[in-house]
Amino acid sequence: MRISVIGCGYLGAVHAVCMAKLGHDVVGIDIDERKIEALHAGRAVFYEPGLPELLREVLGTGRLKFSSSMSDAKGAQLHFLCVGTPQQEGKYATDMRYVDEAFASLLDSLEPGNVVVGKSTVPVGTAARLADALAERSPDTVLAWNPEFLREGFAVKDTLSPDRFIYGVPDGEPGAWATAALDEVYASALALGTRRLIADYATAELVKVAANSFLATKISFINAMAEVCDVAGADVTVLAEALGMDDRIGRRYLNAGIGFGGGCLPKDIRAFIARADELGAHQALTFLREVDDINVRRRVRVVELTRTLVGGSLLGQRITVLGAAFKPDSDDVRDSPALSIAAQLHLNGAEVTVTDPRATLAAQVRFPELTYEPNLETAMLRADALLLLTEWREYQALTPEFAAGLVRRRNILDGRNVLDLHRWRLAGWNFRAIGRPYDSASTDGRAAPKWVAGKPGK
């Protein structure tokens, strides 16, 4: 198929590269010329494992081109809208500027028989609105809404072999025609048995925001449990394992810690609240406000825990923050809980050094007032406390003995519950975690629960 991908940010760049990998002829279009130049030269503008290699591979086949001119979309049979939908400044609602502008400028390049496919995460009702505009300007074309569920860090895999396809299409002949075109684009994954669901526009749009809201709710649920564990002296990591053994609940997205961030979950739940409100379903999503509050509260809690960890005052304390990205295997610092905590510690008078294998440059742009040190060992030198806030593999692999040789005082806070609490405490560290017992007498020497990794007791 001949495909255009409008918007070469996270979603669009990965989509364009993966579509070319599947054998289609693709042109990726973006108004940002620097982005286009970089992609053209085989460089991704963000860190995503596996993407640079795949980008260079498909550029070599000649099936992938990039352009900053919308007129180059002409000739494509399908046009994927992949532009960003950020939160409006000072509001919960989505900023639809990029979608509306991209859509409007695409209209001139459309030809009869074309399918316009929305992939961006949008407020419900957007597809119907765009379909009306399309019917007026290009009656021989059709709109489909095909939300994207890729995760940063797994974006290539999630795009090439997703767990489901949702096609939001109109009724009748145009819907059948859009479905057939999308089936052809995704033929290889469908042949391998990937499930596909046909829906109306509104349902397709809702699937995406509902999925992200559910994931956010699951994370905030376990973080709320962590708050209770903290006061009850219980261990949220064991609780999560036990809950996860129930297939109806499932273990994934039950990792308690400093909460969720990134360019999607936080803004998507807020936009969903705003949209439900606009539509008159005022009470339906009030629980998402609580989900958001629980999440934001984690950050405040970590600052307070750090204060306790270092003996009551943050003033002049050298704090090393391990991790700036909102999650590992990403250099994305949008709404990163780690970075937000680092900034708050700095405001409270601590001397904060932030390290991250990939994200220090992006972090520096956002918070230039913090000190950045890409080298892990150097960053840890003479620290009064270590805060593990993004669970990169290298931080999970740290040993208490090695770290003890670098720091000034053996204080550590595990904000992602990934370190072996018993081992660090036995090595003499003052170790705090989220939702895990603090009183060392009640935990040290107690065997880690054996059933966690292996078979149940019976």
Which CB sits closer to ligand UGA, 261 or 437?
Answer: 261
CA distance 161 to 157: 6
Out of 7, 123, 257, 323, name the contact with ligand UGA by CB under 6 A.
257
Residue closest to 290 by CA, chosen among 345, 217, 222: 217
- Which listed range, 150-158, 358-366, 376-384, 437-445, lies at the site for ligand UGA (CB under 6 A)? 150-158
CA distance 167 to 78: 14
Which CB sits closer to ligand UGA, 250 or 405?
Answer: 250
Work out whether 326 is an interface residue with ligand UGA (CB under 6 A). yes
Give the nearest distance from C-beta 236 to ligand UGA in angstroms: 11
- Which listed range, 61-69, 86-94, 247-255, 399-407, lies at the site for ligand UGA (CB under 6 A)? 247-255
Out of 261, 323, 415, 437, name the contact with ligand UGA by CB under 6 A.
261
Q: Residue 215 is encoded by which pair of tokens?
A: 């994931």
Give the nearest distance from C-beta 72 to ligand UGA in angstroms: 26
Q: How close are the terminal C-alpha atoms of the chain, in Å?
A: 54
Out of 4, 85, 255, 320, name the contact with ligand UGA by CB under 6 A.
255
Element (H, E) at 367: none
Give the nearest distance from C-beta 98 to ligand UGA in angstroms: 15
C-alpha angle 5-204-175 in degrees, rounded to nearest 5: 75
- Which listed range, 148-156, 243-251, 278-286, 375-383, lies at the site for ligand UGA (CB under 6 A)? 148-156
Work out whether 400 is an interface residue with ligand UGA (CB under 6 A). no
CA distance 115 to 181: 8
Work out whether 124 is an interface residue with ligand UGA (CB under 6 A). no
Give the three-class secondary structure for 427. coil
Give the HSE-up count for residue 223: Cα atoms under 13 Å, Cβ half-sphere: 25
Which listed residue (8, 82, 229, 264) is catalytic?
264
Work out whether 262 is an interface residue with ligand UGA (CB under 6 A). yes
Helix ranges (DSSP H) in 283-385: 286-309, 337-347, 360-366, 376-380
Give the nearest distance from C-beta 71 to ligand UGA in angstroms: 29
Give the nearest distance from C-beta 196 to ligand UGA in angstroms: 17
Which CB sits closer to ligand UGA, 30 or 335?
Answer: 335
Work out whether 414 is an interface residue with ligand UGA (CB under 6 A). no
DSSP conformation class of 4 = E
CA distances from 230 to 34, 235, 274, 323, 449 (A): 48, 8, 33, 24, 19
Work out whether 259 is an interface residue with ligand UGA (CB under 6 A). yes
Out of 4, 121, 138, 141, name the contact with ligand UGA by CB under 6 A.
121
Q: Cβ contacts of residue 339 below 8 Å, gap of 6+? A: 324, 333, 354, 363, 366, 367
Residue closest to 105 by CA, chosen among 143, 141, 135, 137: 137
Which CB sits closer to ligand UGA, 121 or 317?
Answer: 121
Work out whether 265 is an interface residue with ligand UGA (CB under 6 A). yes
Work out whether 274 is an interface residue with ligand UGA (CB under 6 A). no
Which CB sits closer to ligand UGA, 330 or 360?
Answer: 330
Residue closest to 55 by CA, chosen among 35, 85, 72, 75: 35
CA distance 244 to 36: 44
* φ, ψ of residue 322 in degrees (nearest 5): -90, 105
Site string (180-219) toward ligand UGA, x via CB under 6 A: --------------------------------x--x---x
Give the nearest distance from C-beta 409 to ligand UGA in angstroms: 27
CA distance 27 to 29: 6
Known active-site residue 264 = yes
| Residue owning tokens 């998507």 | 268
Give the nearest distance from C-beta 158 to ligand UGA in angstroms: 7
DSSP conformation class of 85 = -
Work out whether 94 is an interface residue with ligand UGA (CB under 6 A). no
Residue closest to 162 by CA, chosen among 172, 174, 170, 154: 154
- Which listed range, 149-157, 243-251, 357-365, 429-437, lies at the site for ligand UGA (CB under 6 A)? 149-157
CA distance 419 to 425: 11
Work out whether 74 is an interface residue with ligand UGA (CB under 6 A). no
Work out whether 254 is an interface residue with ligand UGA (CB under 6 A). yes
Binding site for ligand UGA (CB under 6 A): 121, 148-152, 212, 215, 219, 253-255, 257, 259-262, 264-265, 268, 326-327
Q: Would you name the residues annotated as active-site residues?
A: 264
